[in-house]
Amino acid sequence: MAGIKLGVIGCGGRMGRMLVADIAAAEGCTLTGGCTTPGSALIGQDAGELAGIGRIGITIGDDAERLLRDSDVAIDFTVPAATARHAGLAAALNKPIVIGTTGLSADEDAAVRAAARRVPIVWAANTSLGINLLLGLVEQVAGRLGDDWDIEIVEMHHRGKVDAPSGTALALGRAAAAARGTTLDNVAQRGRDGITGPRRPGAIGFAALRGGDAVGDHQVIFAGAGERLELTHRATNRAIYAKGAVRAARWLAGRPAGLYGMKDVLGL
C-alpha cells in the first residue's frame, strides 16, 4: 500500500507523538497531519518537534473533520466521547479509521459499531503483537481447562491511566469467557473489598494496579487444585503500540465496511 496518507487524531498525547514519529519513519507512509483538542496549547506547534524527531513542516491543528478528509486512514487515540464522535465523522466522510481508545461507555461503544456498518474500522484495546498472541493463548487454555480452574487477571499501568480495568484486561477476560461459553458480563468480578465471601464458581476476577511509569503489564492466572498456570505479557516501550496501529492502518485501506480487530490485521 505505497504512499498511504495517515492522519493522527490525538497527536499531542503520548501515543499520538509516537504515532507521528513512527509514520514519519515508515516507508510507504505519509503523515498528512495531526490534530488535538480545540483550545489546546499545542495547536500551531510543529508535529515533528513535539514528537521529538525535529521539524517536519506539519502544524498541529484542531479540526478532526478536515484531517479525516485529507487522510486515506486516520488513527484515533483520544478519549471515549471524542472517539465516538470521530467514528461518526469517519462514517459520514466514508473514511477508514483505526481506534485505540479504551473505556468507552455503552452508548459510545454503540456509536463505533454503528459507524463500522458504513466504513471499515479497526478497534483494538491493544495493538501489540504479543498481546494479541496472548489473547489467543488465553482462549485456548480457558477452553481446555474446566470451570474448577479459577481465572484471575492482574494488570498494572502508569499512575496517569484513567480507566480500570484496562481495555486489554477486559479483552483477555472476554476471550476467556467466550471460550467457556459465556459472556464476561455474566462472570466478571471487578474488585474485592471487605468481607466478600468465598469466590463465586466460574468467576473471572480482575485486579488493577496503578503506579509510576509502568507501560502495561498483564497476567492471566489459571488456578487449579495443586497447580497454577500463569500467562504474562509485559510492555516496556509504547512504541510497540504505535507500530501495531500503523500496521493496522495500512492493512485497513481498501477493506469493506466492518468492525475488525488485530487478529484480522495479523492473520491470527
The helices-and-strands tally (H runs, E runs) of the chain is 10, 11
* Residue 158: active-site member: no
* Phi then psi dihedrals of residue 118, to 5 deg: -115, -30
* Residue 161: active-site member: yes
CA-to-CA dists, residue 57 to 52, 60, 157, angstroms: 13, 10, 34
Could you tell me if 239 and 23 are in contact, meaning their C-beta atoms sit under 8 angstroms apart?
Answer: no
**Active-site hit among 86, 95, 157, 218:** 157
- Cα 94–Cα 81–Cα 21 angle in degrees, nearest 5: 70
CA-to-CA dists, residue 186 to 90, 115, 177, 182, angstroms: 33, 27, 9, 7
**Active-site hit among 5, 86, 158, 161:** 161
Helix (H) or strand (E) holding 31: strand 29-35
> Catalytic amino acids?
157, 161
